[in-house]
Amino acid sequence: GQNIDQPTEMTATEGAIVQINCTYQTSGFNGLFWYQQHAGEAPTFLSYNVLDGLEEKGRFSSFLSRSKGYSYLLLKELQMKDSASYLCAVRDGDYKLSFGAGTTVTVRA
């Protein structure tokens, strides 16, 4: 089976940095995705990592360590609109994704 763990909730202040960790134990590994999901809306793609290291996209960065089964999503210069759920998903070797339960980030003024 697949086991993907991420914290349930995080709170941070506008302008600050938040790091959302994701650990996984899967039968295979063929890439890790991060999605953002605002309340009542569909998930939208943020980032993809398949090799070890850091991928940067503007205010968002994602890191992967395959040997440790670990990834994080870094959100910098937090804005109120970043309040959302962030989903970690692992592709375990074929076309399917296994999702974590999601981390709800609340940004306070």
Partner 1 sequence: NAGVTQTPKFRILKIGQSMTLQCTQDMNHNYMYWYRQDPGMGLKLIYYSVGAGITDKGEVPNGYNVSRSTTEDFPLRLELAAPSQTSVYFCASSKKQESQPQHFGDGTRLSIL
Minimum gap (Å) between residue 50 Cβ and partner 1? 7
- d(Cα 11, Cα 76) in Å, to the nearest integer? 13
- Here's the x/- map for partner 1, 40-79, by CB under 8 A: it reads as -xxxxx--x-x-----------------------------
DSSP string, 62-101: EEEETTTTEEEEEE-S--GGG-EEEEEEEE-SSS-EEE--
Among 64, 84, 100, 107, binds partner 1 (CB under 8 A): 100
Residues 71 and 61: beta-carbon distance below 8 Å: no
- d(Cα 19, Cα 84) in Å, to the nearest integer? 14
Minimum gap (Å) between residue 57 Cβ and partner 1? 13
The site for partner 1 (CB under 8 A) is made up of 4, 8, 30-31, 33, 35, 41-45, 48, 50, 87, 89, 91, 95-102
